[in-house]
Chains A and B, each alone.
Chain A
Amino acid sequence: MRDVAVVSFAQSATRRDQTRNEVEILLPVLREAMAPTGLTTHDIGFTCSGSSDYLAGQAFAFVSALDAVGPWPPIQESHVEMDGAWALYEAWVRLQHGDIDTALVYAFGKSSPGDVARVLSLQLDPYVTGPLWPDAISLAALQARAFLEAGHDEKDLARVVARSRRNAVGNPHAQLSGDIDEATLLDEPLYADPLRMHDCPPISDGAAVVVLAAGDKARELCERPAWIRGIDHRIDVQALGSRDLSQSASTRLAGEKAGVGGRADLAELHAPFSHQELIVAEALGLDETATSINPSGGALASNPVMVAGLVRIGEAARRLSAGEGERAVAHATSGPALQQNLVCVLEATS
């Protein structure tokens, strides 16, 4: 395998953005990510993006978004109708071909124009589950119920939320942050039993950009590159009733293939709902006492759909490059109730 590293990362502030369109959100983030590398669009070997046109209800938004890149003369480019973490996976595979040394990965999403919990229902199978229109929050609540009944306590959920809000205080891109104790959280009313409002993610619009480089090119572009030591993604069966929702078999397998080995200084886990962070950490064999989990606050603090998974990889890489650790695990999820999961192991040494 060819050594590939994250050499730059940038993200927008996340909030409901009722002023700018996707290109306007993306443009300054692209510029910020490219600036430290000194590269232009035409120095990049391959460009790949992740987004979903259903979010803002704008057909071919993913084509319009290319305006931000300035793809003229024509560039080598691809798109996944998924979180940008999967665009990064495609770019990593493309870099393995060996004929190019750099790749640009970007993701954008505006969830605020529609009802995102219903929009996400369109990910369900169209014959049996889809016509029932179960929204994403209700499905997460079903999973949370299964998780609690498998022997967990709602205090565990409150602990995850309190830590997320506390960690997000230091994250200028986060939407929700603050010092709230667990007892106060548990006094809040139920929203989608057993979930409370704070167990669910905020509605966020945003964009993120990662620059990847291989081998010596990565060392040239970045003082302390975050090397991708393993990356893998797996998917559970589509029928929700065929899964044990209290666990994540696909995360466990992806983690094994990516070589997590239960060791990491920090982990950025894409868990839009509080119980999902516990399911993912368990599947990856990560122990909160040894690993700093979601030091950015994670998706509970800001959740730009189609972007939040790529942000996990970017955040983990950024922290390693800044010397906050030597080994990190980043995780991204897609689909209802943690259906599909990607795991990426990153390392940086001086």
Chain B
Amino acid sequence: MTAEPITGIVTPIRLDYTYTPGTSPSQFLRGMKEGRILGRRCPSCAKVYVPPRGGCPMCGVEFAEEVRVADTGTLVTFAVVNVNFANRVIDLPYVSGEVRFDGSDTTSMVLVQGIPVDQVRMGMRVKAHWLPRDEWDFTFANIDYVEPLDEPDADYESYKEFV
């Protein structure tokens, strides 16, 4: 007689955390609540990080001054999404892009709307579309998406290091 083989067991795991983002990220999140995008400048290489974490990862030094960056920027690269994530309710296909907000030296992943998918292009100038003010919270999700600005496309040379 052979026993039925056990091929797997289910072990429930649950851990609860009260997460602390840290000094610089907290400042960024408080800025979002007020509709401002706040970064921090590295005192060594002068790059501006959005959002800032703890220090400049290139130089290994603590951040210095706080810098407010614009909510306009350049779409440096993008992907057309044809398969939805679970619970996502955006009509397919949609565009997920990396935007370098003006004044920042990092890019942020945002949704691109307000333009047919087949007309989205690298170098396109965009502007943040914010949720209604009464819905703002301590989150980057206050920027619902970016949409095209009526400006000429940025020159490739100006954003090639972010691609």
Contact = CB atoms under 8 A, between A and B. Distances in A.
Main secondary structure of the interface of B (DSSP, over half): loop
Nearest to A58: B19
Contact of B53 (A17, A23, A54, A126): A23
A57 B19 contact: yes
A130 B13 CA distance: 9
B55 A27 contact: yes
B9 A66 contact: no
A114 B12 CA distance: 17
A110 B16 CA distance: 14
Interface stretch (A82-90, A115-123, A149-157): A115-123
Contacts of A56: 17, 19-20
Contacts of A130: 11
Contact of A30 (B9, B19, B60): B60
B83 to A, nearest CB: 23
Contact of A131 (B11, B54, B59): B11
B21 interface: yes
B69 to A, nearest CB: 20
B56 interface: yes
A57 B21 contact: no
B57 A19 contact: no
Interface stretch (A67-75, A183-191, A192-200, A324-332): A67-75
B62 interface: yes
Interface residues of A, number: 37
B43 interface: no
Contacts of B31: none
A67 B15 contact: no
Contacts of A131: 9, 11-12
Interface stretch (B22-30, B71-79, B129-137, B151-159): B22-30
B82 interface: no
A273 B23 CA distance: 33
A113 B19 CA distance: 5
A64 interface: yes
Contact of B55 (A23, A41, A54): A23
B13 A20 contact: no
Contacts of A17: 20
Contact of B20 (A67, A71, A113): A113
B18 interface: yes
Interface string A233-270: 00000000000000000000000000000000000000
Contacts of A54: 15
Given A20-B23, A21-B25, A113-B20, A64 B53 contact: yes
Interface in B97-149: none
Given A26-B54, A27-B62, 4 more contacts: A19-B22, A30-B60, A67-B57, A113-B20
Interface of A: 17-24, 26-28, 30, 41, 54, 56-58, 64, 66-72, 110, 112-115, 118-119, 122, 126-127, 130-131
